[in-house]
Amino acid sequence: MARYILGRLLSAIPTLFLIVTISFFLIRVAPGGPFDLERPLEAKVMENLQRIYQLDKPLWQQYLLYLKSVASGDFGPSFYFRDFSINELFAASLPISITLGASALLLALVVGGFMGMIAALRQNRSTDYAMMTAATIGVTIPNFVVAPLLTLFFGVWLGLLPVGGWNNGAAQNMILPIITLALPQIAVVARLTRGSMIEALRSNHVRTARAYGLSNYAVVVVHSLRGAILPVISYLGPAAAALLTGSVVIETIFGIPGIGRYFVQGALNRDYTLVMGTVVVVAVFVIVFNLIVDVLYALLDPRVRYD
């Protein structure tokens, strides 16, 4: 197993390299530059800036320099947030996004899994229909509609929770963002769990468990749920990577200093290093979570073996 994990991590290096290369040249090809302000800079100032940020060198040299610094873990200085390095920006914002994302993920797994299980056990009855309609609503309503509505209801009308802001991670400031992040995930997890649970409940080995008079708990949890959770896990891999790397919408609406905003800001301001940094962070998360999913799969399903 250890060898398998090592192998997977090694094989991630060329993938990352490709991603860095493609996005480096893509963002450079995009029209405009980091110092194109509404009021053009003086030629002299522009030249100085370009030299400081090494934009005066040929593109391939810049590329090699960037590769070198990324390989040593340095994402370089930000072009837009002039006094900060990308590493500093991420050190401040990534933990916030991870806290919110992880909480939302946990909430989604517990609530969604439970809803899906209940719906499967009550298949084609009113409980099932109610749960699945709720799930469809959850998937359908976009978060930029949910977020203002929740703010209006709990913040403005009921006055229970703050309307926005981070407030150094105070619990009451996290509730609405977490719920908004979790709602669509709850819905997806519930639907997935229901589907695979129904399939599991109809499978021959669950029939065996029933025929041998095993308790309801053994039939539902031991012999159905464990197998039914597998598709949910493979969904949650990429979903977790997306959740933990922040959400632009939620961070904008609630005014949270997470990493999600940097995607948009970086790209719009041609902050090359910021864009590249976010791309690399997301790619690493995706790779790591796909690996975690595969390892979990092997732990849960003895038919899957990596060696």
- Give me the least distance between CB of 84 and other proteins, in Å please: 20
Q: Return the number of the residue (98 or 264) whose C-beta is nearest other proteins.
A: 264
Please report whether residue 82 would count as binding other proteins according to CB under 8 A.
Answer: no
**Closer CB to other proteins, residue 47 or residue 301?**
301
Is 165 a binder of other proteins (CB under 8 A)? no
The window from 17-25, 35-43, 55-63, 108-116 that contacts other proteins (CB under 8 A) reads 17-25
CA 266, distance to chain mean position in Å, is 18
Binding mask 204-243 for other proteins (x = CB under 8 A): xxxxxxxxxxxxx-x---xx--xx----------------
* Nearer of residues 52 and 149 to other proteins, judged by Cβ: 149
Going residue by residue from 174 to 203, which x/- string records binding to other proteins, judged by CB under 8 A? ---------------------x--xx--xx
Which residue, 46 or 139, has its beta carbon nearer to other proteins? 139
Cβ distance to other proteins smaller for residue 113 or 266 = 266
Instruction: Name the segment binding other proteins (CB under 8 A); options: 24-32, 53-61, 93-101, 168-176.
Output: 24-32
Q: Number of residues in contact with other proteins, rule: CB under 8 A?
A: 69
Which of residues 182 and 279 has its CB atom nearest to other proteins in the complex? 279
78 contact partners, CB below 8 Å, separation of at least 6: 84, 85, 86, 89, 271, 273, 274
Region from 26-34, 54-62, 98-106, 167-175 binding other proteins, contact rule CB under 8 A: 26-34
**Sequence letter at residue 74:** D
Contact call for residue 15 and other proteins (CB under 8 A): yes
Q: Which of 1, 92, 106, 268 binds other proteins (CB under 8 A)?
A: 268
Which range touches other proteins (CB under 8 A), out of 37-45, 52-60, 66-74, 148-156?
Answer: 148-156
Q: What is the 3-state secondary structure (H, E, C) of the chain?
A: CHHHHHHHHHHHHHHHHHHHHHHHHHHHHCCCCCCCCCCCCCHHHHHHHHHHCCCCCCHHHHHHHHHHHHHCCCCCECCCCCCCEHHHHHHHHHHHHHHHHHHHHHHHHHHHHHHHHHHHHCCCCHHHHHHHHHHHHHHHCCHHHHHHHHHHHHHHHCCCCCCCCCHHHCHHHHHHHHHHHHHHHHHHHHHHHHHHHHHHHCCHHHHHHHHCCCCHHHHHHHHHHHHHHHHHHHHHHHHHHHHHCCCHHHHHHHCCCCCHHHHHHHHHCCCHHHHHHHHHHHHHHHHHHHHHHHHHHHHHCCCCCCC
> What one-letter code names the amino acid at 304?
V
Decide if 223 contacts 206 (C-beta within 8 A): yes
List interacting residues with other proteins (CB under 8 A): 15, 18-19, 22-23, 26-27, 30-32, 123-124, 136-137, 139-142, 144-145, 147-149, 151-152, 156, 195, 198-199, 202-216, 218, 222-223, 226-227, 245, 248-249, 252-253, 263-264, 267-268, 275, 278-279, 282-283, 286-287, 300-303
